[in-house]
């Protein structure tokens, strides 16, 4: 009897109350999991057919030509300075050393100018590429405003080994990007 009484007391002491029941864990069979879709687009096709990319490539090409011209001009200035100093006759070692120092300082100044041109070019390229990336991201937010896809990724060769073309949105993306770009073309950048 005593054992039965103690067993009942222990059972009542450690019995879980109805208020603290654990919530069942999602088994993964609900409708959220079933509607999980990943769309993709082929970045090389976007690069080949998106008008903004073509415009940006032209702008970068023009900026590269400008950089090459500026660097060529600086090289020409250095060559002229070198020839000018080399053609002079120096009567003392001190005059010759002074001319060499002048040429070295001139070369340093020109190198700083070249570095500045190249840095501005790299900043320009980075800004333009970022503008394209941002334009694509912003368009994809509008494109997927109905949340039909959980993810939209860019297909890159070597990164994915299989893709189901059912969810390939490349053509829709290019068409929409070009329409959006034509309707909302940014003003040309000032030099």
Worst-scoring range by mean pLDDT, 23-27, 57-61, 87-91, 110-114?
23-27
pLDDT of 187 higher than 80: no
Q: Quick count: other Cβ atoms within 10 Å of Cβ 173?
A: 24
pLDDT in tens, 115-171: 999 999 999 999 999 999 999 999 999 999 999 999 999 988 777 778 888 889 999
| pLDDT score at 189 | 67
Worst-scoring range by mean pLDDT, 49-63, 73-87, 109-123?
73-87
Instruction: Specify the number of domains making up the chain.
Output: 1
- Domain assignment present for residue 14? The answer is no
| pLDDT score at 21 | 46
Q: What angle do CA 38, 41, 47 make, to 5 degrees?
A: 160
Query: For residue 176, which of 31, 12, 52 has the smallest C-alpha distance?
Result: 52
- Domain assignment present for residue 128? The answer is yes
| pLDDT score at 6 | 45
pLDDT in tens, 163-183: 888 889 999 999 999 999 999
Measured torsion, CA atoms of residues 92, 94, 98, 100, in degrees rounded to the nearest 10: 70
- Domain assignment present for residue 26? The answer is no
In angstroms, the CA 147 to CA 36 distance is 10
Considering the entire predicted model, what is its pTM? 0.70
Determine which helix (DSSP H) or strand (DSSP E) holds 52, and give its type and residue range.
helix 51-87
- Domain assignment present for residue 88? The answer is yes
| pLDDT score at 25 | 47
pLDDT of 7 higher than 90: no
Three-class secondary structure of residue 17 per DSSP:
coil
pLDDT of 15 higher than 50: yes
- Domain assignment present for residue 12? The answer is no
- Domain assignment present for residue 15? The answer is no
Domain extent for 87: 36-183
- Domain assignment present for residue 57? The answer is yes
Three-class secondary structure of residue 181 per DSSP:
helix
In angstroms, the CA 131 to CA 153 distance is 18
């Amino acid at each position: 009897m005593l054992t039965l009484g103690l067993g009942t007391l222990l059972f009542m002491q450690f019995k879980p109350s109805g208020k603290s029941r654990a919530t069942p864990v999602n088994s993964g069979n609900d409708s959220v999991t079933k509607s999980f879709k990943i769309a993709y687009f082929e970045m090389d096709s976007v690069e080949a057919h998106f008008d903004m990319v073509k415009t940006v490539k032209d702008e970068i090409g023009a900026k590269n030509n400008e950089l090459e011209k500026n660097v060529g001009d600086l090289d020409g200035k250095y060559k002229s300075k070198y020839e000018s100093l080399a053609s002079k006759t120096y009567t003392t070692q001190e005059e010759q050393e002074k001319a060499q120092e002048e040429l070295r300082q001139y070369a340093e100044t020109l190198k700083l100018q070249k570095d500045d041109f190249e840095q501005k070019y790299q900043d320009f390229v980075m800004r333009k590429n970022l503008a394209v990336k941002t334009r694509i991201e912003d368009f994809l937010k509008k494109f997927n405003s109905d949340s039909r896809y959980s993810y939209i990724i860019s297909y890159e060769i070597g990164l994915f080994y299989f893709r189901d073309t059912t969810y390939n949105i490349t053509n829709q993306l290019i068409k929409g990007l070009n329409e959006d770009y034509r309707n909302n073309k940014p003003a040309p950048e000032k030099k």
